[in-house]
Amino acid sequence: MPTLTIGQALLEIFIAIEGAPWIYPRWQQLTGVHHGLFPDDPKLSPKGLPLEKKAFILSYFTQYANIRKADERQKFASAIKNASSVPGRQIWRDFSTLVVRDSALHRIITQVLTDINLHPTILIENNPALSFENWPDARGYLPLAVDSVGEALFGPDAFDSLGRLRSELREPVQAIIQRTWNNVKKSLSRGSKRVEKYREDVMKAFNG
């Protein structure tokens, strides 16, 4: 099954823990959303989530939550056809995109992966069985990063009495890390192709 989008992951968290992750001071600081998604005062509404569209968004949340099977939830969340029938879906997608940008989410996760020696390039450099062609399998590494990334994004308020990220948050956080992992791979792939093209151009010029 495809990885959850970040918008879906945030929605899964919101459904599992009322108000989360916007109830956590660390996440509030990162996103600039300090009064929840639906404050009573319209002036305090998050950017991209105007209070007058609250009914659309809550309707989307309710429809999503009422779907029990994970694959069917994902199909519903990723649907493009008949968008006007569920207007809250696109509003949430757009808002999630703003959250990712404004919080520098991928940069934060990349730094955490680097700090705990789980960044893909570090793994490749230190494991002869891995390479840019034989990319590290995220399934074997991402669970090791969940607590560290959870702390960086949500802070200690999101942890249980054992010092672990709450169980309801673990799968969505892993999905968010997976998105960063995929972005790193795509970025490095584009970079390697540019380097190879540059090398070919240099060789052609030299031979010419």
The model carries a pTM of 0.88
Tell me how crowded residue 22 is: count the other CB atoms within 10 A of its CB. 19
Residues in Cβ contact with 56 at an 8 Å cutoff, skipping those fewer than 6 apart: 87, 88, 91
Place of tokens 């989360």: 20
Q: In 3D, which of 194, 92, 181, 94 has the Cα closest to residue 143?
A: 181
The answer to whether the CB of 109 falls within 8 A of the CB of 180 is yes
The answer to whether the CB of 170 falls within 8 A of the CB of 154 is no
- Percentage of the residues of the chain whose pLDDT score is greater than 90: 82
Residues in Cβ contact with 53 at an 8 Å cutoff, skipping those fewer than 6 apart: 87, 88, 91
Q: Average pLDDT of the chain? A: 90
If you ran DSSP here, which 8-state letter would residue 132 be given? S
- Interval 36-68: pLDDT, tens: 999 999 999 999 999 999 999 999 999 999 999
Q: In 3D, which of 112, 153, 171, 151 has the Cα closest to residue 28?
A: 153
The answer to whether the CB of 23 falls within 8 A of the CB of 92 is no
Confidence of residue 187 (pLDDT cuts 50, 70, 90): confident
- Interval 65-80: pLDDT, tens: 999 999 999 999 988 8
pLDDT greater than 90 at residue 135: yes
